[in-house]
Amino acid sequence: MFAIMKRLFSVVLFASVFALATPTQADETHSQGSGPQYSLPKDAKSCVRDTAFMRRNHMNLLLHKRDETMHDGIRTQKESLQGCINCHVTKDKAGKAIKVSNPKHFCAACHEYTAVKLDCFECHRSTPDTGQDTASIPKIPAHANLLASNANNSSEAKALGRFLKGVTQ
């Protein structure tokens, strides 16, 4: 009984400390205790559905909308990925929208926390479209890096050389 009381007390203490410590951040960053830290849009009062529904089912809404848009050309903004991205935007100190590679990005925050791989942004952009950019290729291609790292490892390079020699003979 004492143990339970102690635990309860610590929870209350933690909650009150947390509430006292973060009043200035309350409108900026939301958190579930030690859970993911994410920002909610400041000017929007509610999402397309309630929060509990969205937490569990946002992927189903997106999947449904994706097929409607792709195959039937239905381009309503509600429940579209573009709509999500345009509203759920997190800005850095310079006022620039942050990309999904930054863990503070609205999608990245929970997906990193729950270790669920996020494939949308392999093709879609993760920030609102300003119309200014062209799709950019990273300056050093991934395979060039791979070759460079292999070349540094001389034993690996020699082994590869021996193998190739064997193949060609």
Partner 1 sequence: MNNTSLKDAYIEKTRRDFLKKAGAGVTTLALASGVTLMAYPQAAQARKPEEPVDPSQRWGLLIDVNKCTEDCTACVTACSEENGWKQGGNPGIDAQWIRKLKIKNPKSGHEQTFPVMCQHCGAPPCVDVCPTGASFKRADGIVLVDKHICIGCRYCMMACPYKARSFVHEPLTDQKSHAPRGKGTVESCTMCVHRVDRGDQPACVEKCASNGHGALLFGDLNDPNSDIAKRLASYPTKQIRADLGLDTGVRYQNL
Positions in the binding site for partner 1 (CB under 8 A): 66, 68, 70-77, 82, 85, 99, 122-125, 127-129, 131, 133-138, 141-142
Contacts of 30 (CB under 8 A, 6+ apart): 37, 38, 39, 40
In angstroms, give the least distance from the CB of 1 to partner 1.
Answer: 55
In angstroms, give the least distance from the CB of 123 to partner 1.
Answer: 3
In angstroms, give the least distance from the CB of 102 to partner 1.
Answer: 12
CB 64 within 8 A of CB 54: no
For partner 1, give the closer residue by CB, 134 or 168. 134
Q: Which residue has the tokens 């942004």?
A: 121
Q: Which residue has the tokens 């609102």?
A: 128
For partner 1, give the closer residue by CB, 7 or 91. 91
For partner 1, give the closer residue by CB, 8 or 74. 74
Question: Coil, strand, or helix at residue 39?
Answer: strand
In angstroms, give the least distance from the CB of 78 to partner 1.
Answer: 9
Q: Would you give the distance in Å from CA 50 to the centre of its chain?
A: 21
For partner 1, give the closer residue by CB, 37 or 82. 82
Beta-carbon count within 10 A of 90 CB: 21
* Three-state SS sequence of 69-119: HHHHCCCCCCCCHHHHHHHCCCECCCCCECCCCCCCCHHHHHHHHHCCCCC
For partner 1, give the closer residue by CB, 49 or 124. 124
In angstroms, give the least distance from the CB of 57 to partner 1.
Answer: 18
